[in-house]
Structure 1
Amino acid sequence: MARRLVLGDLRVQELEHSSGRVSYTILEADGSVRRLADGFLRSCSGGTDRTYAYLLVDHLRWLEFEGLAAETVSLQDLKRYMGAVGAEFRGPYGRPWRQGKRPYGQSALDTTAACLKGFYLHASAHGGSRELAEEFSRTRLPTKSDRRRHFLGHAIQEMPTNPLRPTRTVRRRHPKMPPEGARGALYEEFHSARDRMMVTWLADGGFRIGEFCGFHLIDLHLREGAACGECRGPHVHICHREVNPNRSRAKTKPEWTIRDGVVTGGAVRRASPAMIHTYFDYMTTEYPRDAGHGMLMVQLHGKNKGQPWSTAGARQVLNRAGYRLQLGKINPHEFRHLFATNVLDAADGNTLIARDAGGWASATTVDEIYGHADVHDPKFAAALDRVWEEQR
């Protein structure tokens, strides 16, 4: 089964396999497969192939616009492309190959650099430029941060490098939080145990919406001393799966397995008493007894009643409730930002604790996003008032 996702001479095509797995490829205007791009996307893991497909189709459109070919493009051409997609200024002709989209940010540029490196290394093995492959195959000396991230870091002699990756600068981001009192207002607004559980789990667990909707019942170890032996208190295992019926999946991909009916591995996250309470309320009042899919969140109404609940459905429920309460659009990821900020405050700014509590890959990411003073924080305001009073 195939579904067209993007219009244009080149387009991304989603392919649903009989096993339930979803993959992505790039098609020409006549419907034929772009072979080189298809071969590269087949080599990518699940989740990554979707992101790379959309980044790659932008790049291939640019090649056609510039009259270039993937087999002969130079490193200088690619650097020019990276500058084009990240530029705020559109130029006299705009960005015709991108159909008026916004320029890439820092994170998107990093991902694009990784995508292009992988694509052109793949191309070099199929008749592409060997000189370009040599440029991408160069290495560099490891930094202190590289050594800290690797076990036995003293044994690292060299690290891979990417000439397309832009220089990373530390920049403070101000994540958007849910409106003041949104959690309590939403909890009172929702009459469904499922929806109340969603608000509680997003706020107390800091889950991404894909992680939350991707839970299976077997992933939840909500009693003390679970058989997995990986955490003494109540906890959950976040497991990346490619074949969930609702197509939700976790972003992180730690190894996990099922042994004797018990999930081990994955990303382990602690569960609060409120999370456990709302879980049992939902399971004893609304969860269908005949659900054979084994997933935690289900649709409660309509023709698909009892089927796994998609991330789109969860977002719609939050949005509708937000507008009813005159809170505006509520994004589920806002609760993850709030969770991280609260943990960081409770841990006296310890980014390692916040990293492990929320499942971030790096404490540096936590510091860049949340590790700065909030101008609306009462402590921040009190400190300024004290300084101003001393000056007076």
Structure 2
Amino acid sequence: RASLSCGALVNDINHIAVTGQSDMGKDNVVRSMLFSLTALHRPSEVQVCILDGKGLDFSDWLPKAHTWRVARRPEEIKPAMEALTEERERRFGILDKAGVKKWEKYTGGDLPLLVVYISELSLLADALPTRAALEQWLNSELAAGRAFGIRFIVGTQNLSNYGTRWRSQISCFLATFQPDASQDAPNTGLDTKQIRERGAIPPSQLPGAPIGKGVFTLACGGMVATLRFPLVTDEEIAARLHRMPDRVEQVDDDEFGLFGMEAPAFTSTPTVPVVAPEQAPGLVPQRAPESAPKVVMPSSVVAPVSGEMARVAEPATAATPPVATPADDLVERTSYSLFLIETQRERDLGAAVARAGARASAPEEERAAYAIYLIDKKQVDGVSRAVERAWHVKRGGGSTFKNAKALVETLMAQRPAVQTTTAA
């Protein structure tokens, strides 16, 4: 069943671990997370640091305004780690001076959430003299980073060989195939029996490559589910990167490119991940605060049926067609789904996702409401761009564009009058 899994990186998920053998889709899953963050939040709200060291996979992120730093070569890993420690200490000084104990309470506007993706943990081990030094660095950064607005997504093949001290800081696990049952607990926080009792498939019982590529068991708090994540194609990656704003020319004192950007406004209201009800029976879905940075992960639920793992391996091609046009774009469907939920047009996330998939037939009033939603959320700049996304037409695209723009402008002009009447 096609669905969305959504969690907030403020007062919900602290750090995430993504584990599995090479070519099982770890980078693909994390890309979906990072793209959802950058699509829903401005650079002044979220910055991304990528410690890759494996090549050129994330080179296209370098000129983007959301990018804090990218380490592409092994020799760039250690300087990046040192920079992260310095950034944590810098944030400590800012919060201390402001008399604030936690980043969520800080209102200075110059400390966006910093999301750090470590694509392969073993590369960090190679950058430091001993494994103990790496364990100490991880424990310090993950434990202290939470209070200073820093979140880590740690990728590696297997967590079994690493200490439990820093692993205790992980609150969300995504694990694909592991070759032995003894590796279920280190990579999910739950043993094989516990995973089965909660209705999911232990990583040791998932199919390996190539048929199991993209199939992960997620364990987050008390929720466990086995999911298949769709492939983010090269064409879709290019399209999403194109939508991300480029970094503007910086002045010498503007190290992080934040001057002129609107200050983030986060909330401290506790939240839980948003999931489709069928993914977690008995759990009542709740929405994260609108301003809390959200990670949205498109997925298909995979349910164990009499232990027949062959059924897990069936590709979900029908539910996840390749993205070819803006109308089929995954980010757009995600944004529209959140619009339906946040405006209370739908209360069930699964129904919102299904409705978002058929939004091409949505009535004019709903499209206009979505266009205004995009403007209010500052996801677009101006009415024309909002109309392009809501109606999937090009600017100046004949009478359709003209009439849609007129409708949106009329509704926006009426809003102050309606609000005044209501207040009176």
Alignment TM class, shorter chain as reference:
under 0.3
**Larger relative contact order, structure 1 or 2 (CA cutoff 8 Å, min sep 6):** 2
- TM-score normalized by structure 1? 0.28
TM norm structure 2: 0.26
Greater percentage in strand: 2
